[in-house]
Chain A
Amino acid sequence: MNSQKILALNGLSKTFGSVIANHNVSLDLYRGEVLALLGENGAGKTTLMNMIFGHYMPDSGSVDIEDTSGAFVPLSLGHPQAAIAAGIGMVHQHFTLAENLDALDNIMLGAERLNRLRRNKAAARGKVKDIMKESGLSAPLTVPVGQLTVGERQRVEILKALYRDVKILVLDEPTAVLTPQEADTLFGNIGKMTKNGLSVIFISHKLREVLAFSHRIAVLRHGAKVGEIATSQADERKIARMMVGSETEEHTRKLMPPGKPILCFEKVSVSGRSRRESLECIDLAVNECEILGIAGVSGNGQTALAGLISGMLRPNTGNIFVDGVAVKDVRPSVMVDAGVGRIPEDRHRDGIVGTMSVAENMIIECLDDQAVQRRGLLKWDTIQAQAEKMTVKYDVRGPGIEAPAQLLSGGNIQKLILARVFEAKPKLILANQPTRGLDMGAAADVAKRLLEARARGAGVVLISEDLDEILSLSDRIMVMNDGELTLAKTRDRAELGLLMAGDAE
């Protein structure tokens, strides 16, 4: 790393209505450097990056960037086109992919001129293949993106940015959906590319990778920069304190004897559109007072398993028992009535109705309940009082209970879903990637709530790609690979990793 400055943010501020997203943030980036941007949900990290990339116009402040001749020039703000031309690439947290196009078309989008009658897909494919080899990221190029898994889509997003020959790469939570091994590979390759002059800013909540792969750490809190530290001088406690202003506590998992089985799968098969959406002859049992962790890389059948437990998919053959009773007609409402609480993988799409208010989203699963309605008329006073109470109890922060739920940040949307699910006191909880993309505070909150539910006697199915999370929370661990479930006899990280890759023995 040399110390040549190539990007400077000068006092950027941005407000949305009455919410201050960023206040007077100044930050420098040097050539060949990996800068980690840390902060809790809603601290303003994504807003800051969106201003660099031209999605948002800052209220005040400016950005200077080194141009091709080495001179420092102001970047024209508010235009992604200008940012791309200046050599800035951005990988967005929420995918910016056209699902009806294949990955190659998505990658080429905007990189080719629109007034040409012919396209050179062969050349583009060659270049993408080279980037794949170099970065270690691969994704199917010819399948419509809509059929790819979340993990694969994320990889396409990164490839899309790399394809534009960037000199500054902004990554908004790039590894949230990657396995630890894939994340390590990605950062290893990013390390290689930084040696050739690439500078990287990445947002992450995983302290382990921040400490392992960044050169410098900048911390945001409540929209303002509260500190910068060289990674060599940082440790987990130090940066955690900077982020939240106090130290976080570790949760402890008390040993509990498991109770009677609460969810049983008996030789359940389901066939989806592709092999990755199919399960064959799955046996599974979850007991009361037990957390069953399902480890594995996404796209190995987790979606189908979650679909079955939540009632979104019907099994082709086999039986599902909830609390000892066979569920004949597998439907979402039947599963909810049987006592299943669901925390979906894609919380924006499946967890909330974005245009409805926070209060409405709180009660959306219990509309039949006499507590919220009488003869079909909603009791607004009760609902609002309840919502106020829940937002305090579960620490849902945002513009208020009347605001549309889509205005909340990712972590607060998850807290809203937790409030809805846990208040119904379900017997079984399906938690599908519950901490993906959450900061430490919010992730710890999810873990605490899951352990509370377990202490209350509920069974929990925890599907996660985060092996650390699985190891710290689960009583038993099963590994999912290529549509098959294997009970892990070990808690060793390396051996579990091999099982996840399908290389057992």
Chain B
Amino acid sequence: MQELTSQLVQKPSRVIVQDRKTKYTGRNIRWEGVFKRSLVITALSVLVLVVGIFITLVVQSIPSIKALGIGYLTGKTWDPVSDIYGAWPFLLGTLLTSFLALIISIPFSFAIAVYLGEYRPTGWLSGFLKNVVELIAAVPSVIYGFWALVTLVPLVRKLESAIGVAPYGVGIFSASIVLAIMIIPYAASLGRELIQMVPSSLKEGAYSLGGTQYEVIRDVVMPYTKSGMFAGVLLSLGRALGETMAVTMVIGNTSLIPDSIFSPGNTMASVIANEFTEADRAVYLSALIELGLVLFLVTVVINMIGKSIIKRFTHE
């Protein structure tokens, strides 16, 4: 054994190794190019994918745009059986549910953000809250819808008969509540991160002048994070606009213009979900796709604005 080791040390395998290295190097050099090219191709494919989505939506919307023109979006009647297509009920339904959901969600997401960001960033209680928020985000939309159908809708129905409106149960109000629950995590976790970015020197300055915790939050933390909070609200609005399943299940699915927040209705997403596979005429189908295009454009614009605000905020 001793002999063998000394033999090996005396005669290093340098020549053999160099030879083998040469062989492998040639192969490596060839793969290097392949690898670099495939990286570029995948990065490019993401770009192509998004452009492709946009083009597909535009192309498939053309029959509807041609046949119905700009009046489509303001048309108040949707009656495919009589070949009348007006998207206004769905635009209105989408705006109503989304904004209502937003208004309901803001106090909650704000409270969570302030609690986790300012009052208690660590500890088991905030750990619990963080997990709750994450789970709220993880529950599938369809389960929210099912749950709402079984428990929330009867409650809303009771409320409606108590205040003397037609007790449908399903409708814009129910959809907004479910949506509000679903979008809270987005604004809340973003808000928490923003609040934690407030320099402690600023807060300490305010405390040293005798400010109470509430005053520091109101006069230092809020002004500092204002733009970011707005972006958070925008991003959750983007979520709310495109949310489909839970809304479809509880909004009541009628194509009439809603006359109050308690009436049933339809959003752009829910009407697509309900009628896409039933659309038997080219214009009908195309009209639905045009809704998809509008949805796409609106969410893209909202998301881009929100993200650019956040980028500016985090770079400062």
Question: Are A and B interaction partners?
Answer: no
Spell out B's residues near A (CB within 8 Å). none
Spell out A's residues near B (CB within 8 Å). none
